[in-house]
């Protein structure tokens, strides 16, 4: 599975990751794993990461074609 970020949010994700002390890929995985379960909240360990963009607006998921 490949995750495509909407281009205008890619920089925002990178910045948020730096603010939280994570790399962008790790934060991206956290977001994917947590997004729907927590209604738009993402948790890194015990720390809540607040994303300032609307749920459902971040990712386009697509399967890799082999």
Residues 6 or more apart in contact with residue 49 via CB below 8 angstroms: 16, 20, 27, 30, 41, 42, 43
Whether residue 20 is contained in a domain is answered as yes
3-state SS, residue 26: helix
Calpha distance 66→64 (Å, rounded): 6
Whether residue 33 is contained in a domain is answered as yes
Whether residue 44 is contained in a domain is answered as yes
Q: Which of 24, 7, 12, 22 is CA-nearest to residue 51?
A: 12
Mean pLDDT, rounded, for 8-32: 73
pTM for the model stands at 0.41
Each residue of 25-63: pLDDT tens digit? 777 776 666 654 555 555 555 666 665 555 544 444 444
Whether residue 56 is contained in a domain is answered as yes
How many independent structural domains does the chain possess?
A: 1
Q: Is-contact 10 58, C-beta < 8 A?
A: no
Structural domain that includes position 25 = 2-61
Q: Residue 8 corresponds to which tokens in the numbers above?
A: 């205008």
Whether residue 66 is contained in a domain is answered as no
């Amino acid at each position: 599975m490949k995750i495509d970020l909407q281009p205008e949010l890619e920089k925002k994700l990178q910045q948020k990751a730096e603010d939280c002390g994570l790399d962008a890929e790790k934060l991206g995985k956290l977001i994917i794993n947590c997004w729907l379960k927590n209604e738009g909240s993402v948790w890194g360990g015990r720390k809540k990461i607040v994303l300032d963009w609307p749920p459902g607006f971040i990712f386009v998921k697509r399967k890799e074609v082999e």
